[in-house]
Chain A
Amino acid sequence: MAQLRAPFPIIRMFLLFVLMSLSSQTAAQAIEVSDWPALEQQARGKTVYFNAWGGEPRINSYLNWAAELLEQRFDINLQHVKVADTAEAVSKIIAERQAGNDSNGSIDLLWINGENFAALKENKLLFGPWVEEQPNFGLVNADRFPEMREDFTVPTDGLESPWTRSQLVFYHDSQWLEEPPKTIEEILAWSTANPGEFTYPRPPAFLGSTFLKQAILELSDQDPALYAPVTDAEFERITTALWNYLDALHPTLLRGGRYFPNSAAELRRLMGDGETSLAMAFNPNEALLSVRTGELPASVRTYVLQGGTIGNVSFLAIPYNAQHKAAAMIAANFLLSTEAQARASDPNHMGSTTVISVEDLDADARLEFDNVTADLAAASQEALSHKLQEPHPSWTPALERAWIQRYSAR
């Protein structure tokens, strides 16, 4: 039972009453994570409220497909609750804990990583460990790819299951810009000489925050303090260079820095309309997917910055108070399956990067994944292998807050 912090006896009694009636409704079923067949049985007929970012229609359509299959095969009703920012879902879980709601949570499964995961883990708001019990977990070959067990330097401890990979890439329209800038400093130089051709999404949109992190990693030469929890002193020291950089950059941006786009999709639109000639994305396949749909002209090329760019894995987690944990686990396992991952990586569907170790699959299965390499608009695998690790999660909110403080009002 959670601590009740109501001072007045009557309110306390009322909350007690509410809690008792809630817990009697959902008699806590013992969840034995290693007994997978039992979990499948428990999951039948249940609904999984999957809170995931809803800003990308491709992902939404993919989840519709997944929902159909989960219904057919496991009798699970997957409901995609679209959130604009994962932080909203985090705040909901925290609020539910505060209200003493320990078994009737409104979220069953959550698409999450970074500082959001760190916040939930720290406050013990996640169910688990359960991840490594999944039949499909072996597919990611976590021994070879340690990033499957680590989230922005924080160990996952079996609390979240890998779902997709991402990496920051840049893309440019070669009809207006043939030789794009290859480092953060070069970007500033080029933008000063060609104002109005570039912009980045407004933090705290995660792409915008990622740009800040990329910039600060390069400007500080990957200062080790970035991989440790943030302190005020370190923050002051390291970010000076970043603010100087941005102060110089902003006036040269699109709209003179008086307006920042909201998302990766908007960046695509700006390039598609010819307003900008340089943009960025977190999905390495984004540009080529857009060229295929005609959103971007065929002259677009993707590339990675010289020193490497930030890459990460994003995961699926189950809140401690989820109502249908068994069903959530079944769903997560399904999304980790070869079938689901193959479809996800297919540019016709989601076009994301898989977390499965493709080389370990047999020849037939491997074929399902081989669909983008020859595309002109894609970055080479070699280039993509230059990855930078994400800084410690505590840096992200600090950077976001500081950016908002400095640049929200001019």
Chain B
Amino acid sequence: MKASASETLDATVRRSYATLLGYLASRAGGDLAGAEDALSEALLAAVKQWPEQGVPERPEAWLLSVARRRLIDDQRKSQVRERFSESIQQALESADELAGSGEGFPDERLKLLFVCTHPAIDEAMRTPLMLQTVLGLDATLIASAFLVSPVAIAQRLVRVKAKIKAAGIPFEVPEREQWDERFSFVLDAIYAAFSCGWQSSFESQTRGEMAVEAIRLGDLAVALVPGEPEALGLLSLMLHCHARRPARVDATGGYVPLDEQVIALWDHSMIDRAERVLKTAGEMSRPGRFQIEAAIQSVHAQRRVTGRVEWLVIAKLYESLLTFTGALGARIGHAIAVGHAYGAEQGWALLDALPMDRLEEHQPYWAARGHLLWQTGRVEAAREAYDRAIGLCDDAAVREYLMGRRNAD
């Protein structure tokens, strides 16, 4: 009995956390922190009461009703009387009625995504905030993924939520004229969650989990806004990369670069899905950064069929990617692709032209530099670059791989 109560609660949280929080916050005048507190109080009440009194028939409605009562109490007690307006009171009352009526709640999760990625919020905090409020992840996991101390991240999350309330960041979906930019912030924040789960993620559990969570967010964005090709592009990109995860490490835990991976180890049904998603995006004829990045991954995946990597196609795709973004990663990728497609000297010329000031501590840059210098026969300089990449590396498997390259004859 007890097990079933806690299982139901877990499943409810997993399924409906963001829906409940979005609903409460939007009816509490955008008070995200207050809504969160109220919801956690309701969850706590459920932990205590469900095993004794039985699981309610509609768990979401039960939680909503408890949280709503707590919110109303809080708003009454609140020193800032003017915040407790008639309209908020009414909204909360109607929330309760709705919860009782058995109808579904309006889905406010999209508003939640937009609040978390509002331009008034520090860019570095948008992804952690999204992971916490939309997925309900705990601060320690977020801290580990982003390499920030758990105390610091918890404090920053509190501060961000205080700012949302104090600055009156609106709990709403942006107007048409702001839509594209604001939606791109949502996608950027999701991608940041995925990248921290990806860039140097060969064996790390935390980062693997983070990639899965990012894909959940990507699925959510697509479900909430089906007509946005870039959301589909991002989802396809993440699925492509994640599908190759099992092939990135060999039997002894060593790192395997993409073009040497054993194809049989790829998750082919996930790749198939990535391809379908990308095709749907393509049919909307509005290309963008994430669709092109997904297309690059799709070309790599075609090695399943052709047995080879079409570097000419990849180089062309990087060229068009650079018309959408000047990101370092894209420029380094372009140089590598050109090196494969047109010769190492040409690739090296592109890489060497990048502005050094932002690259000092960028490990992928030094690895690419080592690779291209090696290809062009400048062995000593290549070794120096590899040394720098090794020193900047935070992953044991990649470090070992780079050392192998460095010491090759």
Are A and B subunits of one complex?
A: no
Interface residues of B (CB under 8 A from A): none
Interface residues of A (CB under 8 A from B): none
